Structure 1
Amino acid sequence: MANIQGVKLWLLGLITTLFFFSSCSEKKQEKKFTIGFSQCVGSDLWRETMLEEMKMELSLRSGTNFIYKDANNSSKKQIEQVEELVDNHIDLLIISPNEASPLTDIVEKVYNKGIPVIVLDRKTSSSQYTAYVGAGNYQVGKMAGQYITKLLKGNGKVVEILGLPGSSPAMERDKGFSEELSKSPGIKLAAQVYGNWVARSTLQELEKNKEKILQSDAIFAHNDVMAASAKDFLRHHKASEHIKVIGVDALPGPGGGLQLISEGKISASVLYPTGGKEAISIAFKVLNKEPFSKENILQSLVIDSSLVQLMKLQWAKVSSQQRDIERQQTMLSDQLEIYDNQKLVLNFIVITLVLAVIFGGLAFFSLLENRKINKSLEQKNVQILDQRNKLIDASAKIEEATEAKLNFFTNISHEFRTPLTLILSPLEDLLESDKIQSGEKRELTMIQKNAYRLLKLINELIDYRKIEHQKFHVQPTSNNVQSFMNEIIESFRYGALKKDIALKFSFPKHDIVANFDVNILEKVILNLLSNALKFTPAHGRIHVNLTTEDNNFIISVADNGSGMNQEELQQVWDQFYQSNTSESRGSGLGLSLTRELVHLHGGSIEVQSRKWQGSTFTVTMPCGEPIDSKLSPVSADDRSFSLTEQVKVYITEELPAENRQIDPIGEYIKEYSVLIIEDNLDLLNYLQEKFSVNYEVFTATTGNQGLHEAFEKIPDIIVSDVIIPGMSGKEIAKKLKTDLRTSHIPLILLTAQASPEQQIEGINSMADLYMTKPFHFDFLQANVRNLLANRMLLKEHYISDISSGAEKKSTLSVLDKKFLNDFAGIVEHHLGNETLNVEDLAKMIGISRIQLYRKVKALLDCSITDYILNRRLKKATYLLTNEDYSISEIAFKIGISSPTYFSTLFKGKYGMSPSEFKKKQNN
């Protein structure tokens, strides 16, 4: 086996190595970028050329994702498109703004997000961008002016056709042009018209200024489109020979400025570079973290008939090279695809060959090892057979022992019944006696209830053990279901009446005759009715309904009690399950036993429940075929007596406890108070009655109610059960001990959880004492007295002298020590305030006046007013001994405005006046 494992590891390493080299042989791919381009308008030739130049430059940089957006002369649309580009996670934005001001905010927003922004052609109103690319419009106008001055030899009339009014290119070109013409006095600017950059507007404006145009010597148009329109206008009026027309742009291609010059339609054009190539070049410098210039002004020149052919040839050459590059890229892409496919096939072949070698090696080694394994398996089979025989013998012995245990358990359970009978029978005689006083009768009734409860538990355990070991035999007889059910329900009337619960039974008019075991079904109905009675509050209702369906009779028991949540519903049939939040808890066997009894009889049981809205248990039992029972029928009298005895077991346990009536006139104010938190009403009433002799008693039946009572009443000690509805006793202990208002109160936890681990957990929950049930009341009362006495030993120190250095013998919690230190510090700090009162101190500490009073009383055994006065007089003794103040000054410093009143108080406490005290100390 070790050899096979070694071979497997070696082969696994071989495969890993092959895959590693295969992945390393891949060419390292360049990082891909996404560039977004927002164009204000893409319909004119100049901007089409800009986009074409960008695509030419991008064709030399493979792997770049280029997203183009055309705003069609709409600033609003361009803003939306830029936001859309940002949502597409672009790495860089190139924008040619439609208008400066409207686009400024969105450019700043993108730039501030950390996305580089290159502004192309037109700037925004802000300097927050990465780079600017564009020609100088001022320089373009200046060059046009120089060319016309030279062309006219310093004399003549000139007409200027401007672009859109207010646009920055038009204004800058006009400025450069006008400044240059101003240098030649012989040249006059005859007229200025706005062509709005388009042909149609240009023709209309020229017609309006016809006379000035036809008398001019040269025309300067701000772009080639308007220049061509001006030439058409002159040709139409037969004045095109002597008037020179100069445009701007000098674009290549059909309809461009170069073609217009070549065909003689215009005399010259000032080159206005688009900057598309330069924008892409700078974009890659930015993305690759290379040096670049923020302001990139493109150079220009004037192209006339002497240069136009050269420029056209250069553009044709560039276009041809671009087409060659695109064709080569297509071919390269095809070759790469072929290469990838071939590489995939080759990798597959190599991996297949390697796997073949691996599996061949594994098969060879497996063949060798299988022989060894077969020999080992033969030896193990012999051992397993031997162990199997031993297990069969052990099982027989275990079954025999189990049978003996069951018999012992059954016998001992039956033995329990004898002493219980001897307890219950004399109890009933005593309860019927007229000589028993009311207090004794309450205690005897409590004994009776718990004796019946113990009897019920014993009966359930015996039945459950019988079912587990298949000792429970079904003996069906033919019976009238209505009469059977009515008899049981009538037996529960007394219990329902005692709790003021409406018990209703509904059944069909025709008789329902079915075959069932009377004892089994009786236990089922008793358990369900007992359960409904237990969880239905006073003044509630229980509805039992009997129906038939498909040769089955169906019994449903519905109540409007506390109900169950989903978590409780999922565990309701589990053995020994008890809900911690239930108002009343049992052994956890009843419902589990009920389901087993129903299944034993071939029926089914279901439950539907909603929290605080009640529960409905539905039992479906087969009616069965008519049978001739050989069993001797039970007489009506015997049946009635047996049912009465069984119902008494179920009913007596659930009867409400008799509350002792306390005469408020006979009660006197007790020195200490105790809060008892217990959900078992019998135990609660018992403890209340016992403690009420010496203590003022407060009670609560749920955790939440107990916590509220503790905060409200601030008792001197608390006694709580561990498992109670709403909140466990351990949770209550943690909350009380970590709250400033109640941290000083001793807490005793009572529980049936008696294991050392559970007791340690109880002490760790910050409880002062953890007592297990059953307990002796005198022992509990002695512990209560002891805890209260220990608290009294701590109080004297904290009514203390300021400078007292006495050693603390404190067992107070850290929270109580902090409270007392904070309280003393606040009082000391405000001693000079003669209006200091309880309300002020409560606000400073952050609790109510009543809670502060009770806590100080519990910890210091004095009122707050007495404590403040004592501290003032103690401080006065310190000042009289150690400081050189007058009596009036000392009285003022300790918050007493009247020196006479101060002297009276001082003498009352120390038996001498302040002057006498000071003189005595100095001597």
Structure 2
Amino acid sequence: MRSLIKLSLRIFICLIIVSCSGEKEADKYKIGFSQAMTTDNWRKEMNKSMRVEASMHPDLELEIKDAGNHIAKQITQIDDFIQEKVDVLIVSPIQSIPITPVIEKAMNAGIPVIVIDRKIEGRNFTAYVGANNIEIGRNAAKYIISHSENEATIIEITGQEGSSPAHERSIGFKNTLDSVPELQITYSIKGDWEKASIKDRLSSLLDTVKTPDYIFCHNDRMAMGAWEVARSKSLEDDIKIIGVDGLFGPNGGIQMVKDGLLDATLLYPTGGAEAIKMASDLIQGENINKYNILRTVVIDSVNVDIMQNQFDKMNQQQNDIEQQQAVIDEQIETYNSQSALIRIMIVLLLLLLFLTGWSIYLVVRIKKSKRELEINNKKIIVQRNQIENFAEKLKVSNESKINFFTALSHEFKTPLTLITSSIESIADRPNKELKGISHETNLIINNSRRLLRLINELLDFRKLENGTYNIKPVKTRIVPFLKNIVDDFRSEAVKRSVKLNFCPGNEDMEVYIDRDMMDKVFFNILSNAFKFTPKNGNILVAVNESENEVSIIFKDSGIGIPKEEFKRIFDPYMQGSNNLKPSSGLGLFISKQFVELHEGSISVSSHQGAEFKISIPKGKAHFKDVDVSEIETDFQSSTSYKLPETIPAEEPGNVALDKNAETVLIIEDNTDLSYVLKKKLSTDYHVYLSDGTDGIEKALEIIPDVIICDLNLPTKNGFEICGELKSDLRTSHIPTIILTALDDKESRLKALKAGADTYITKPFNYEILRESLKSALYNREKLRYYYTNRIDEVKDEHFENAEQNFLKDLNAFIDENLRDPDFSVEELAGKLNISRVQLYRKVKALLGISISEYISAQRLNKARNLLQQSDMNISEIAYEVGYSSPGYFSTSFKNKYGISPKQLKS
């Protein structure tokens, strides 16, 4: 027992140590930078740009050492970096010659060396970054030449002796001025880059010589010193001073030019950010140029404002980057602390689990008598959990399969309806010639094929589930094979006004495929493209060949697939959330399985439509333990998609019907079913069709007597259409018959709540539909009789439906304006917020008379009451009910009731 306690304590201590040590920090690459000095703003700006750029590379660690302008110290610092074995060494030499040996030592140690700003002797370094100092000297000379009209005297103030920038700037400056004899460098003063080093000598020189026209200083600090000397002698307006560096900031060269202290300054980029980028490229193993010359520019009064604005923006961006980096560092620190806390919690949790297990172990040992019971209890709990998990999985599986078979049954019902309806049509004409039934027979053939495809799809799915599908690859020229399938869809493309393009590529490319499988794959994807591509859309089929595979691309301009459903679109039973059309949800799953049996891949993307890409490997090496046929034989597709050979020239029309015959609006997206229903109903009714996209609009335009509506429609479903029409004053009176494949109680109840009058499921008997139409029209006729015979009572009743409310409002508006002889139908329609035509059609449907006749009936009805119950004379009554002429009133009254007002009054 004591040894067990000791072991537990040791494990606990080890876990604490591991948790506190944290995760091993990711490998970082170290960059060492030996800076010549940091006494000036230019060097500080170089350091700052390096730190900002290094912060953009999380795998880089930058260390800057300041040599303080001491050569021996810089050599020592470089030696330290060599001992540390930094990954990249960056050096800004104080002087060229003394630094060269130690840089060569670093190169011999295998450390890449980037020389920045100043050069060394020889070429034994990896890369150089800096401006062309000879070019800076030339640009300064060119500036003086361009701004000097005649002769001019010049004083040159150079940098520290022995530094490469000072030497090269002097060479460029002198060589350029030598080409213009009128311009001479009269004196030269050697400085050490600081203004204090030249002020006394320049002051003494200006006291003894003629005032020069120009002073060219090798940096802005010495140029500032020259200006201060010139101002002390009141010569600041007579001498034009040119500097080098062009730093941004209150003490920089750009501000000096803007304030008029310097005539110009030459931009001398620090190159700090560029050096860090090169170091990163070297670490990543990329090739870089040996000499990387930074661009320079002359800054004078012409462009100083532009340059300052650019630097303002750059500085702001740099500050934003630094702030963002600080926030990131803070978040990383928080993350690290939280990670450490989580690790400690995990250790404590593990310890707790360990102690819990230990406690259980002690309890088991102490209570041996209960051990068997506890073991049995644990087994029971495990078994119960397994049973619950299995039950849950079984429930999910059953629900998926139920949904699948429900969707599949819906797919079967529409073609079954068309088949049974066509057979009934043929049966009704047994003794007639068969010329008029070619469309019905073709419908039977086409929908029989459709049912066969659905059944085959179900059988393929079953085989794939059982793993019994055997692949039979055959050497095949893919382009002719695919072209035959595409050609089967040409007539469908014409029918739907869809542009079908086929880009075959190399017609001789060969692959090994199971033709029956790939025929089903290509057919399925093409049929989906046609299913979801709107009228006047585009479908593209393209074949591309690469070294190792052949790719077939199917692209359409349809509704596309939501991005979040890309990964699940190939799952069994899966249907897109934007797919309102019924389907089994197996086609794409089977297609993916077939492609993968060929060791290929299928992918989908969606942008203004859907794009499927199928990739099939070339050759036959990927088929293992499979017999491959090298003989290419003719292939007959099992998924033919040809349309009926006989297509009616035009839709059946409403021929030889009375103009007062009832109108029927059919809202159905299946064109074959719409055609059949219209053909059957056109002998008795005026029939109008809608594919569902404009169902509500057509109902409002036509105001039909009856509406037949499907549930599964492309935009709004039948529940929504029925609900909107029943809640609209203009269409609330129209009987609605729901025609659908859904046969469940919930759908029926939902349809009734939406206001449907009749619910008929597919497949249906045409006689049932016809009798349902007659019944709906008969019920409306009874309602019309009720209203027309109780006009006096309508306005006083307790109203319970939309039609009674409409009549209540109609009677109220008519009664309010009965005395106005100019009260028109247009005014009444405006008060009811509907059009004149819609008002006419609704009143005609409800009451069987026109709105004008109804207004006249109301006037005469009130006149009869006044004649019987009031003391008003006939003329007063005529004006009271809106007649402008008592004579016309008397004529109308006698025509209506068969007796004159005078006779009724007496």
Taking structure 1 as the reference length, the TM-score comes to: 0.51
Deviations 1:562-621 (A, max 9, x none): 54454775664343445686696544322221112112322211122334xx43210012
CA distance in 1, matches of 2:576, 2:663: 31
Which secondary structure state, in structure 2, belongs to the residue aligned with residue 651 of structure 1?
A: coil
Among candidates 739, 744, 748, match of residue 733 of structure 2: 744
Instruction: Tell whether the 8 Å contact from 1:762 to 1:770 is kept in structure 2 after alignment.
Output: yes
Which stretch shows the higher mean deviation, 516-525 or 457-466? Answer: 516-525
- The question of 1:439 aligning with 2:436 is answered yes
Structure 1 residues 453 and 875, CA gap change in structure 2 (3 angstroms): same
- Structure 1 residue runs of 5 or longer lacking an equivalent are 1-354
CA distance in 2, matches of 1:748, 1:562: 29
- The question of 1:608 aligning with 2:605 is answered yes
Among candidates 774, 786, 799, match of residue 788 of structure 2: 799
Structure 1 residues 446 and 889, CA gap change in structure 2 (3 angstroms): same
Structure-2 residue corresponding to 1:622: 617
Match runs of 1:220-259 below 5 Å: none
Structure-1 residue corresponding to 2:671: 681
| Identical-pair percentage | 36
The one-letter code of the counterpart of 2:642 is I
- The question of 1:720 aligning with 2:709 is answered yes
The one-letter code of the counterpart of 2:662 is Y
CA distance in 1, matches of 2:794, 2:545: 87
Deviations 1:85-135 (A, max 9, x none): xxxxxxxxxxxxxxxxxxxxxxxxxxxxxxxxxxxxxxxxxxxxxxxxxxx
Among candidates 745, 756, 762, match of residue 756 of structure 1: 745
Instruction: Tell whether the 8 Å contact from 2:550 to 2:618 is kept in structure 1 after alignment.
Output: yes
CA distance in 1, matches of 2:618, 2:529: 25
State the 1:896 CA deviation: 1.5
Structure-1 residue corresponding to 2:22: none
Among candidates 883, 902, 906, match of residue 889 of structure 2: 902
CA distance in 1, matches of 2:891, 2:503: 85
Deviations 1:304-330 (A, max 9, x none): xxxxxxxxxxxxxxxxxxxxxxxxxxx
Instruction: Tell whether the 8 Å contact from 2:706 to 2:734 is kept in structure 1 after alignment.
Output: yes
Instruction: Tell whether the 8 Å contact from 2:730 to 2:838 is kept in structure 1 after alignment.
Output: yes
Match runs of 1:385-464 below 5 Å: 437-464=434-461
Structure-2 residue corresponding to 1:651: 642
Structure-1 residue corresponding to 2:695: 706
Among candidates 847, 854, 868, match of residue 867 of structure 1: 854
Structure-2 residue corresponding to 1:530: 527
Which secondary structure state, in structure 2, belongs to the residue aligned with residue 836 of structure 1?
A: coil
Structure-1 residue corresponding to 2:189: none
The one-letter code of the counterpart of 2:698 is E
CA distance in 1, matches of 2:374, 2:499: 72
Among candidates 595, 602, 605, match of residue 592 of structure 2: 595
Instruction: Tell whether the 8 Å contact from 2:553 to 2:612 is kept in structure 1 after alignment.
Output: yes
CA distance in 2, matches of 1:837, 1:586: 53
Match runs of 1:153-168 below 5 Å: none
Structure 1 residues 694 and 510, CA gap change in structure 2 (3 angstroms): closer
The one-letter code of the counterpart of 2:449 is Y
CA distance in 1, matches of 2:808, 2:795: 15
Instruction: Tell whether the 8 Å contact from 1:554 to 1:618 is kept in structure 2 after alignment.
Output: yes
CA distance in 2, matches of 1:630, 1:847: 73
The one-letter code of the counterpart of 1:575 is P
Instruction: Tell whether the 8 Å contact from 1:580 to 1:723 is kept in structure 2 after alignment.
Output: no
Which stretch shows the higher mean deviation, 897-906 or 669-678? Answer: 897-906
Instruction: Tell whether the 8 Å contact from 1:802 to 1:874 is kept in structure 2 after alignment.
Output: no
- The question of 1:913 aligning with 2:896 is answered no
CA distance in 2, matches of 1:472, 1:786: 54
Structure-1 residue corresponding to 2:210: none
Structure 1 residues 532 and 862, CA gap change in structure 2 (3 angstroms): same
The one-letter code of the counterpart of 2:615 is T
- The question of 1:852 aligning with 2:839 is answered yes
CA distance in 1, matches of 2:558, 2:378: 61
CA distance in 2, matches of 1:805, 1:534: 51
CA distance in 2, matches of 1:584, 1:892: 62
The one-letter code of the counterpart of 1:843 is G
The one-letter code of the counterpart of 1:617 is F
The one-letter code of the counterpart of 1:798 is Y
Instruction: Tell whether the 8 Å contact from 2:665 to 2:688 is kept in structure 1 after alignment.
Output: yes
- The question of 1:889 aligning with 2:876 is answered yes
Match runs of 1:339-354 below 5 Å: none
State the 1:631 CA deviation: 4.9
Which secondary structure state, in structure 1, belongs to the residue aligned with residue 672 of structure 2?
A: helix
Match runs of 1:16-165 below 5 Å: none
Instruction: Tell whether the 8 Å contact from 2:817 to 2:823 is kept in structure 1 after alignment.
Output: yes
Match runs of 1:250-649 below 5 Å: 374-380=371-377, 383=380, 437-493=434-490, 495-496=492-493, 503-509=500-506, 511-536=508-533, 541-549=538-546, 551-566=548-563, 572-578=569-575, 586-611=583-608, 614-626=609-621, 631=627, 633=629, 639-640=634-635, 642-643=636-637, 646-648=638-640
Instruction: Tell whether the 8 Å contact from 2:738 to 2:756 is kept in structure 1 after alignment.
Output: yes
State the 1:375 CA deviation: 4.8
Structure 1 residues 827 and 620, CA gap change in structure 2 (3 angstroms): same
CA distance in 2, matches of 1:788, 1:663: 21
The one-letter code of the counterpart of 2:758 is L
Which secondary structure state, in structure 1, belongs to the residue aligned with residue 884 of structure 2?
A: coil
Structure 1 residues 863 and 483, CA gap change in structure 2 (3 angstroms): closer
Deviations 1:541-570 (A, max 9, x none): 543222233522211122344544547756
Deviations 1:488-524 (A, max 9, x none): 4455555556656554443444843333323322221
Structure-2 residue corresponding to 1:696: 686
The one-letter code of the counterpart of 1:878 is N
State the 1:775 CA deviation: 0.9
Bigger relative contact order, structure 1 or 2, given CA contacts below 8 A and separation 6+? 2
Which secondary structure state, in structure 1, belongs to the residue aligned with residue 453 of structure 2?
A: helix
Structure 1 residues 499 and 793, CA gap change in structure 2 (3 angstroms): closer
CA distance in 2, matches of 1:742, 1:686: 26
Instruction: Tell whether the 8 Å contact from 2:476 to 2:632 is kept in structure 1 after alignment.
Output: no
State the 1:661 CA deviation: 4.1
Structure-1 residue corresponding to 2:814: 827
Count of residue correspondences: 524
Structure number with bigger Rg: 1
- The question of 1:840 aligning with 2:827 is answered yes
CA distance in 2, matches of 1:568, 1:893: 71
Structure 1 residues 378 and 618, CA gap change in structure 2 (3 angstroms): same
The one-letter code of the counterpart of 2:706 is I
State the 1:726 CA deviation: 0.6
CA distance in 2, matches of 1:714, 1:905: 31
Instruction: Tell whether the 8 Å contact from 2:652 to 2:679 is kept in structure 1 after alignment.
Output: no
Instruction: Tell whether the 8 Å contact from 2:479 to 2:509 is kept in structure 1 after alignment.
Output: yes
Which stretch shows the higher mean deviation, 526-535 or 504-513? Answer: 504-513
The one-letter code of the counterpart of 1:379 is N
Which secondary structure state, in structure 2, belongs to the residue aligned with residue 857 of structure 1?
A: helix
Structure 1 residues 634 and 884, CA gap change in structure 2 (3 angstroms): farther
Structure-2 residue corresponding to 1:331: none
CA distance in 1, matches of 2:489, 2:713: 28
Instruction: Tell whether the 8 Å contact from 2:570 to 2:589 is kept in structure 1 after alignment.
Output: yes
CA distance in 2, matches of 1:815, 1:787: 17
CA distance in 2, matches of 1:795, 1:673: 17
Taking structure 2 as the reference length, the TM-score comes to: 0.51
Structure 1 residues 825 and 634, CA gap change in structure 2 (3 angstroms): farther
